[in-house]
A = this chain, B = another copy of it.
Amino acid sequence: MSINPRQTTESRQAEIIATMVRLSAERSPAEITTTDIAKAMGVTQGALFRHFATKEAIRLAVVEWIDEHLMFELLAAKERSTDALAALKAMFMAHVGFAKAHPGAPRLIFGELQQPNASPVKQRVQQIMQRYRQTLSQTLAAAIEAKLIRADADCPSAAALFLGAIQGLVIQSMLSGNTEQMEQQAVGVLELYLAALGVKS
């Protein structure tokens, strides 16, 4: 079939990653087989192993894709904000928007959480989250500096609550399957979060 010509490894890798993320939106990532991915791509199962050595390599590449694209969105949100407080709001909504645009992404991350500590993929996730929390802490500190939020707010706790608020919303949407509702509820939760930082609505 001419629908499916030969392609470069680079483009196939991207396609495999995209397919994995897409399929993860509906099914448990752990249960997605190489056959599933291949079928969704219109290619035979063995072909995948031309582009990734093992399935674990696919999982790692997917996690890296998520990191790259989420961080891009967060940075963009931050840069289009005029101050640190606006940046926090924009990052919050950008993260929720990312989860809505790619519902498979959080499922993949949650799946990797389950893995034993030694797993390289999990270590990558660990690193990603740590960096994220650091960025948040910095932005929070900047907001304190600019007197936009309470001076006595504990930055690490505030960063943890920021992430938790989003994760809670994502978990709820995973249960209901309704990402629309998640985005709506995000507004209310964000407002409450900001109140914790001493921001009046």
Which residues of A are interface residues toward B (Cβ below 8 A)?
26-31, 107, 110-111, 113-117, 122, 125-126, 129, 150, 153-154, 156-158, 160-161, 163-169, 171-172, 174-177, 185, 188-189, 191-193, 195-198
Contacts and interface: CB of A to CB of B under 8 A. Distances in A.
A47 B22 CA distance: 39
A120 to B, nearest CB: 14
A194 B26 CA distance: 36
Closest A-B pairs by Cβ, 4 of them: A164-B168, A196-B196, A157-B188, A28-B114
B154 A192 contact: yes
A27 B164 contact: no
A126 to B, nearest CB: 5
Chain A at the B interface: SS class? helix
Given A30-B30, A192-B196, 8 more contacts: A29-B114, A113-B175, A114-B174, A158-B192, A160-B165, A160-B185, A168-B168, A193-B196
Nearest to A196: B196
B114 A153 contact: no
A168 B160 contact: yes
B26 A174 contact: no
Contacts of A116: 26-28
A30 B32 CA distance: 13
Nearest to A129: B175
Contacts of A125: 175
A27 B110 CA distance: 14
Contact of A154 (B156, B158, B188): B188
